[in-house]
Amino acid sequence: MRGLLMVLGFGALITAGLAMVAALLVLALLIAPALVAVAWNLLDFGQAIGLGPLGFWGCVLLGWFLAAPMAIRLIMVLIVFIADPAWLGDAARVQWPEPTLRNLLAIVILLVVASMSHGQSTKTAKRRPAAEAPGP
């Protein structure tokens, strides 16, 4: 009986951990596009740099692109290049935004989205104890 309860306890712990990871993944997939929409459309960062507003799928794709690790970003660029190579050849006239508080806030929000994946991928390295110097 005790062994059965122990197995069920570990099963519940593993299930709760998987549910938490799934919830965080879904939350990250929803938060990144929402933050991009706030920065790009509501704070008019797109207009400030000479680009237009983003639609729903533009916010979703830019949010996922900024929040994704570098390997996923490369895959996304390859998919776009394979689907429509002429799209990457178009030139955009982008300008430096005016130094306003609104633009600063928009840049900070986009940087937060871009740094979302980097906090999870860093691994802590174990430090070796320093070698003791020989005494006199």
C-alpha dist (Å) from residue 59 to 31, 56, 81, 102, 125 = 11, 5, 19, 19, 36
**Nearest to 51, CA basis, from 89, 91, 15:** 91
pLDDT given for residue 39 in this prediction: 92
Q: How far is Cα of residue 113 from the mean position of the Cα atoms in its chain?
A: 5
Other CB atoms within a 10 A radius of the CB of residue 59 amount to 21
Answer whether residue 93 is part of any domain. yes
Other CB atoms within a 10 A radius of the CB of residue 63 amount to 27
Other CB atoms within a 10 A radius of the CB of residue 136 amount to 3
CB 76 within 8 A of CB 117: no
Answer whether residue 108 is part of any domain. yes
pLDDT given for residue 127 in this prediction: 57
Provide the residue type at 24 as one letter: L
Per the confidence metrics, is the pTM higher than 0.95? no
Answer whether residue 50 is part of any domain. yes
Answer whether residue 133 is part of any domain. no
Per-residue pLDDT of the chain (136 residues; tens, 9 = 90+): 777 667 677 777 888 888 888 877 777 778 889 999 999 999 999 889 888 888 998 888 888 888 888 888 899 888 888 887 777 666 678 888 889 999 999 999 988 888 876 554 445 555 556 566 565 6
pLDDT given for residue 117 in this prediction: 64
pLDDT given for residue 134 in this prediction: 63
Answer whether residue 112 is part of any domain. yes
Structural domain range at position 102: 28-118
Answer whether residue 44 is part of any domain. yes
Tokens of 38: 């706030």
pLDDT given for residue 102 in this prediction: 92
Answer whether residue 90 is part of any domain. yes
- The structural domain count of the chain equals 1
